[in-house]
A and B are shown apart, each in its own frame.
Chain A
Amino acid sequence: MPKNQKNQTVISVENISKVYQVGEVETVALDTVSFTIAKGEFVAIMGPSGSGKSTLMHILGALDTPTSGTYTLDGELVSSLSDDELADIRNRKIGFIFQAFNLLPRTTALHNVMLPMAYAGIPVAEREERAADALTKVGLANRIHHYSNQLSGGQQQRVAIARGIVMDPAILLADEPTGNIASNQADEVMEIFHTIHRQGHTIVMITHEPDIAAHAERILHIKDGKLVNDERNTQKTQRVRKPEDRKTG
């Protein structure tokens, strides 16, 4: 894929399958899925519970490897990269928001959000500033010094979102980012996503709520591990309030 092409492909999966073997039973979580995502696209993935969405997302985030098939990220074959190269890619290129949040226990919200920047070698003062900024964006300015276990589910999710966006990643992978959040806060999160999207960053987001999926430009439907539908979103929601108030974008 030539890099200078206008409609450059960042994510390209070809016939990827993921089979889990539990004892005698084989679970096919992903079944020969193929698609590409262009740079700057905003994609939603929908599908029933257990259809393989998270499995797919982990593979896209270079956190897991497919049983078969190839995954090309930014022109590089992921299976050919070393452990450390992948760590670097996850750190600098990808922001991952876990469905289960995965915050460090007994650690403050601020420190959780600072963690990816620590591995990027960003100076401590800048880390604190950027982490506080990101937490403010997700509406947690007054919870910065709370420990992760002192936060509600929705607040933990927003800390996870702040951690996912704090490195300003080229690709944001969000697994049910609004699953635990009230709808008005979900709108704020979507607003943040739109801002990121407008900066030319790529977003892939799993959701089972149609009105959240409606924010995306494109919706992939997955069922029983198969890609069953790949549609352009025609009535795209682009509700952006007071764009001038935003620091960036």
Chain B
Amino acid sequence: MDIREQVVESFRTLTVNKLRTGLAILGIVIGIGSVIALISLGQGSQQMVQNQIQSLGANLLTVQPGFSQSGSVRGAAGGGTTLTLDDALALSTDPTITTVKNVSPEVSSRQQVTAGRNNANEQVYGVYPAYADIHKITLSSGSFVTTSDLAAQRKVAVIGPQVVTDLFATDANPVGQKIRVKGQEYTVIGVTASKGGTGFQNQDAIIYIPLSTAQKSITGSSSINSISVEAASQDVMTTAEDQVGYALLKRHKIADPTQADFSIFSQQDILNTASSVTGTFTSLLSGIAAISLLVGGIGIMNIMLVTVTERTREIGLRKALGAKRATIIRQFLIESIILTILGGCIGMAFGATVSFILSKVLSIPFTITMSSVLLSIGVSGGIGIIFGWYPARTAAKLQPIEALRYE
């Protein structure tokens, strides 16, 4: 029997023994499918977190007040009052700072806000016009805080879509309406477009007012909560971080960088932390995938071994009729390979479909990597082939009569 004929014979055997073939393929499908689906989900959610962080603004540095290490007191970042508006203005004019595109000083506080009879507790940001640029804020209606609003300390507010739902029950356009923040009346001049608020902070639940207004009417202090600095490009992030850091140290007359009364975070730091978190998540899913690979593998192994009784008699008969050992082993190898290829293809389609549906349901990106496909097919296929081939090899070594009598 040549190979071509053995392939035909194998297909015949496989189609004739439908239940046996079906079970073996099912084992392979589950083994491969679950691994592909689980790894795809893990990578999809990792991707999602990265995308979200990136959408907060690229090339972003955040300067926050706070003593990093000062004697016995260790100030929490963001908790101090050491950053002023002048610091921020100096950063945008300092000639030693060459790699910074935009500087945005920010103050923020939580305030009780009312509009008519509605009442909500919202995050209120005092901002410069540059804020919109740096944080990639777009407006769905109206306009953002302008330089003249700032100069005139106008009581105007730009509100997020979540604030609109909180304060204005009807779907009337809130632009031009009045809201009250800390007892004072503000005119709504714009509504921001939704950013899909599931990040660290809900970007849709913020009220923006001019920084000067916020300092005068809300915080009553000249200190600011943070300065967002946009670097010219991704490549100069570290240079920008250094330049901003040294400029501020000089202004604050601090010689030792370890005594700095502010801290600088980059988007990269946050990304790294988040990546390590989702990386753990992916390892967890990989662990689950490894277990399903094992379970699938045992399933494949079982069905292959269970069929041995019947197959051993068949092998005995084939030997009695003149089949050589190698011919028999080759036939079983071909059968196992056909099973594995069939199961592998169905399993891949199955795993991809499951992860596609789940990624839609969980609204995470749909990703399938070559490595997960290769891993699952390698392991399941390997198990299928080994446990198809090995018992056949053992049976082919028996005397034909021993094999025929096998119980």
Binding site for B on A (CB under 8 A): 58, 61, 63-65, 83-84, 87-88, 90-92, 96, 98, 102, 104-107, 111, 115-116, 118-121, 124, 163
Contacts and interface: CB of A to CB of B under 8 A. Distances in A.
Interface in B1-20: 1, 5, 9, 12, 16-17
B400 interface: yes
Contacts of B314: 104
A92 B323 CA distance: 11
B321 A119 contact: yes
Contacts of A102: 313, 316-317, 320, 404
Q: Is the interface of B mostly helix, strand, loop or mixed?
A: helix
Contact of A116 (B321, B327, B404): B321
Interface residue range, chain B = 20 to 34
B219 interface: no
A118 B317 CA distance: 13
B322 A120 contact: yes
B401 A92 contact: no
8 contacts: A58-B401, A61-B320, A87-B322, A98-B404, A116-B321, A119-B322, A119-B324, A163-B321
Interface in B384-406: 397, 399-402, 404
B322 A88 contact: yes
6 shortest A-B CB distances, which residue pairs?
A91-B322, A119-B322, A64-B401, A63-B400, A116-B321, A106-B16
B154 interface: no
Given A64-B401, A106-B16, A119-B1, A96 B322 contact: no
B393 to A, nearest CB: 13
A90 B317 contact: no
A83 B315 CA distance: 14
Given A118-B1, A119-B1, A83 B317 contact: no
Nearest to A59: B401
A87 B399 contact: no
A63 B320 contact: yes
B178 interface: no
Nearest to A64: B401
B1 A121 contact: yes
B401 A63 contact: yes
A64 B320 contact: no
Interface in B315-373: 316-327
B401 A115 contact: no
Given A83-B325, A121-B1, A90 B399 contact: no
Nearest to A106: B16
B401 A87 contact: no
Nearest to A55: B401
A63 B399 contact: yes
B60 to A, nearest CB: 69
Nearest to A115: B321
B404 to A, nearest CB: 6
Given A106-B16, A118-B1, A118-B5, A90 B322 contact: yes
A107 B9 CA distance: 11
Given A58-B401, A64-B399, A106-B17, A87 B317 contact: no
B100 to A, nearest CB: 78
Nearest to A92: B322
A105 B326 CA distance: 23
Contact of B320 (A88, A90, A120, A121): A90
Contacts of B404: 63, 98, 102
Given A63-B400, A84-B326, 14 more contacts: A63-B401, A64-B399, A65-B399, A84-B324, A87-B322, A87-B324, A91-B323, A96-B320, A102-B317, A102-B320, A102-B404, A119-B322, A121-B1, A124-B5
A145 B140 CA distance: 76
Nearest to B310: A105
A88 B320 CA distance: 10
Interface string B292-325: 0000000000000000001001101111111111
A210 to B, nearest CB: 28
Contacts of B1: 118-119, 121
B320 A104 contact: no
Interface string B140-157: 000000000000000000
Given A64-B401, A106-B17, A121-B1, A115 B318 contact: yes
Contacts of B5: 118, 124
A66 to B, nearest CB: 11
Contacts of A91: 321-323
A118 B1 CA distance: 6
